Chain A
Amino acid sequence: MLSRLIPVRETILGAAILALLLLIASRFSGFVAPANLLNVFNDTAPLIILALGQMVVILTRCIDLSVAANLALTGMAVAMLNVAMPGLPIPVIIAVAIGLGAVMGAINGLLVWKLMIPPIVVTLGTMAVFRGIIFLISDGKWVNAHEMSDAFTGFPRAVILGLPVLSWVALLTVAIFGIMMSRTALGRSIFAVGGNPDAAVYTGIDVGRVKFLAFVLSGALAGLTGYLWVARYAVAYVDIAGGFELEVVAACVIGGISIAGGIGSVGGAVLGALFLGVIKNALPVINISPFWQLAISGSAILIAVAFNARSGKTKGRIILKSAEASE
């Protein structure tokens, strides 16, 4: 049945990832060793977390281009906080990171909600503003590994049950978002706002508020990732994760999240991120120039969009057919 449309899309994407892995394994079998796959997953964890936040925003027919700048600013802020107060416990650092990220998301959200500025303009603006602020608070200087406390840098790498904390955070986020999207009124509202904003208004959903909350969620995840990123690489500077927002959007698009809003799933976003993660990690291993990586991710985006556009069209045709049949 066509009602399984979204799972079909995910199955195809999953199959594409498997085919990719097989292809790589034929050139270099070490890549598919479980330990290496876990490494790839861990490496892709930040992308997965950010893609989930971006997914929520895109579902409401918006876009958040400021995620990478938000990540970098939060990362710099918590790194400086750590330098200033090395004794601050990690849970406090994480709370500060999430809170700071959420505030930046809320700024985006308020501009979209209250001033009704198009989201792409808002986040393009805040993206530049956030990067600028990093420069102002850091004077353009780096915060290096030796300045950070061991607890600060150690947390994402600590291994629990065979997996680094960074991977666990990604898994936890996936679980929380999975439940939120399918089992809460907010999740349902997010789909409704993107699927048919006019109808959502009549249903008593405040469309602007839902968009605002989507930006807050995206910002909070960017903040969380900001800490994890800076701690993992043990360095913070102005240009951290420069251009990463495009990779995040790409992961969503490849994962079948419709840029027109309303269609998408947590599974799709995760698979989209993993697809990019596999390409990024595999190509250097099998001696393919990293520039091919860009071309391949680009092609993947185009194929994914073409595929989604086609499935959207099929759907339209079916509505007409059944309308005809019912006459």
Chain B
Amino acid sequence: MTEPLTPVVSMDAITKIFPGVKALDAVHLKLYAGQVTALVGENGAGKSTTVKVLTGIYRPDEGTVRIDGTPVTFTDPNAASDNGITAIHQETVLFDELSVAENIFIGHAPRTRFGLIDRHAMYEAAARLLRSIGANFDPRTRLRHLGIANKHLVAIARALSVDARVVIMDEPTAALSHKEIEELYELIENLKSQGKAILFISHKFDEIFRIADRYTVFRDGAFIDEGLIDDIDRDGLVKLMVGRAVDHIFPTREMTATEDVLQVVGYAHPTEFADIGFTLKRGEILGFYGLVGAGRSEFMQSLFGITKPSKGVCKIKGKIRVIRSPADAISNGIVYVPEDRGKQGAVIGLPIFQNITLPSLGRTSRSGFLRMVEEFALAREYAERLDLRAASLDQDVGQLSGGNQQKVVIAKWLATQPQVIILDEPTKGIDIGSKAAVHEFMAELAAQGLSVIMVSSEIPEVIGMSDRVIIMRDGRIVAEVAGDEMQPDVLVRHAAGIGEMSQLEDA
């Protein structure tokens, strides 16, 4: 394959900083006409941020985006599509109540002389576009009546309707069946032959090796490597993705207790997960690893009683318990610190002490009336244990910094004196210093005999903190590893379902 002269799009040293995290750190990415470039990286490597920079949703803090070698600045998403860059997102953004044609042309519909929408021209053009991608349905159909795969075709048609030169596909196969994926491959080949540059983001190695011409690897927001797919094999790509060793010091812990605290058997949900079963020991940290969408959080929410599983029992300290609501879970000693702490954590508007005592009101009240003294005592105890920095405990929690708000949320759960604490992505979006503090604290909790379930997508954290790791893929537990087996490439292989390796292990 010959090297084309100028890439259609190139990102040079693009940096994007969010409060507390560098999402992209001087990354490079080049897309060439008529070629598919696969962007590879773990969760949190910066792939989605890259897409948002390219489509004008985020503006980079440093660096330049060039189109045909000319620097451009996208002030808004329209600017990107005017330059021929278009994206098909993970979750398609379409309007159920509009017709297929209206969805395709919303924002840039053909106009009549009087400035009204030229419906006739719009339906014609839509039909043409749909035919070109092999979609055989009427553009007058309401989108609501289409299945998910056809909706995807509409999204693709929409992407092409702006006369795109660059098509970004972010996990395009996530919701598709096997046959539909084959059709998508054909479509991509078709687009390639039309000379479009394609950015293909996927976790699935089969797909990458099937469809991509080039690869670019990101890790933790940094550019790692790029090259031609023909020059690399799966193992090489996995190595680039996960990097070498764990470069962050994790607290050393010793696990001694062997008493089973929680036993989960046969948890299943009609759409999200199936056959989930494991045992959790006292004082243990159990990691849950998997790709985004593997069903980890969905299962945890079900264990906590927020969604109801269709099947499954759990045994807490040897007794079978039915958990149907978060209140049941809390009274059985299970608490859940959700991933989106902003939305699901602190109650802004309530003072700190009331946030802390919210799940423990039963303990701080006498004959139905809350006792301020006890509430304050309880809040003070846990605020001190977590070294919460606040002027006073009756301050509104909204005035605290993000890190301190998080402490309030954790204090709230510890105040219920749980036996099992589920931490969902406990260090997502926080800086390195705070991460170390959270890890330290988790180790401390485990040492005090609390059992911790940690859902995390960060491999170093999973390996550094966990005593055992359970790996989930497509809603099922695919492996459980402990000790020396906990290696980055082992986790990635299981999570991504890389064929040969799992066969080797089974043998």
Name A's B-contacting residues (CB within 8 A): 1-3, 5, 179, 182-185, 188-189, 191-192, 194-196, 198-206, 262-263, 315, 318-319, 322-327
Contacts and interface: CB of A to CB of B under 8 A. Distances in A.
A192 B349 CA distance: 9
Interface string B385-408: 000000110111011111110000
B370 A322 contact: no
Given A324-B19, A327-B20, A192 B350 contact: yes
Contact of A202 (B331, B338, B351, B394): B338
B202 interface: no
B404 A326 contact: yes
Contacts of B277: none
Interface string B327-343: 10111000010101001
A322 B400 contact: yes
A203 B391 contact: no
A200 B347 contact: yes
B348 interface: yes
Given A183-B370, A204-B326, A326-B401, A191 B396 contact: no
Interface string B410-452: 0010000000000000000001000000000000000000000
Nearest to A200: B347
A260 to B, nearest CB: 10
A192 B347 contact: yes
25 contacts: A1-B391, A3-B392, A3-B394, A5-B396, A184-B369, A184-B370, A185-B370, A191-B347, A191-B354, A192-B347, A192-B350, A194-B349, A196-B346, A198-B340, A199-B344, A201-B326, A202-B336, A203-B326, A204-B329, A204-B359, A206-B325, A262-B348, A323-B19, A326-B401, A327-B19
A66 B20 CA distance: 48
A188 B354 contact: yes
4 smallest beta-carbon distances between A and B, as pairs: A326-B401, A204-B327, A195-B347, A195-B349
A224 B197 CA distance: 71
A5 B349 CA distance: 10
Interface string B37-70: 0000000000000000000000000000000000
B22 to A, nearest CB: 12
B370 A198 contact: no
Contact of B361 (A185, A198, A201, A262): A185
Interface of B: 19-20, 304, 306, 325-327, 329-331, 336, 338, 340, 343-351, 354, 358-359, 361-362, 365, 368-370, 372, 391-392, 394-396, 398-404, 412, 431
B358 A192 contact: yes
A203 B402 CA distance: 19
Contacts of A179: 369
B401 A202 contact: no
A208 to B, nearest CB: 11
A204 B392 CA distance: 26
A318 B398 CA distance: 8
Contacts of B344: 196, 198-199, 201-202
A152 B361 CA distance: 42
Nearest to A261: B349
A204 B402 contact: no
A202 B306 contact: yes
A188 B358 contact: yes
Contacts of A188: 350, 354, 358, 361, 370
B399 A326 contact: no
Which applies to chain A's interface (DSSP): helix, strand, loop or mixed?
A: helix
A195 B395 CA distance: 15
Nearest to A319: B398
A3 B400 CA distance: 11
B395 A1 contact: yes
Contacts of A326: 401-404
Given A202-B338, A323-B402, A184 B368 contact: yes
A322 B401 contact: yes
Contacts of A3: 351, 391-392, 394-396, 399
B370 A263 contact: no
A183 B350 CA distance: 14
Contacts of B326: 201-205
Nearest to B357: A188
A32 B348 CA distance: 40
Nearest to B330: A204
B349 A262 contact: yes
Nearest to A324: B19
B53 to A, nearest CB: 22
Nearest to B393: A3
Contacts of B370: 182-185, 188
Contacts of B358: 188, 192, 200, 203, 205
Contacts of B347: 191-192, 195-196, 199-200, 262
A320 to B, nearest CB: 8
A199 B361 contact: no
B365 A325 contact: no
A315 B394 CA distance: 16
Contacts of B306: 201-202
A183 B20 CA distance: 38
B135 to A, nearest CB: 35
Contacts of A205: 326-327, 358
A55 to B, nearest CB: 14
B19 A204 contact: no
B404 A206 contact: no
Nearest to B361: A185
Contacts of B351: 3
B354 A199 contact: no
Given A188-B370, A323-B402, A327-B431, A195 B348 contact: yes
Nearest to B346: A199
A325 to B, nearest CB: 7
Contacts of A263: 349
A191 B355 CA distance: 11
A319 B405 CA distance: 10
Contacts of A199: 343-347
Interface core residue of B304, B347, B398, B404 (most chain A CB under 10 Å): B347
Given A1-B391, A199-B347, A206 B396 contact: no
Given A182-B370, A318-B398, 7 more contacts: A192-B350, A200-B358, A202-B345, A206-B325, A319-B400, A322-B399, A326-B402
A202 B355 CA distance: 12
Given A185-B362, A202-B338, A318 B399 contact: yes
B394 A323 contact: no
Contacts of B396: 2-3, 5, 315
A262 B351 CA distance: 12
Contacts of B346: 196, 199
Nearest to A5: B396
A5 to B, nearest CB: 7
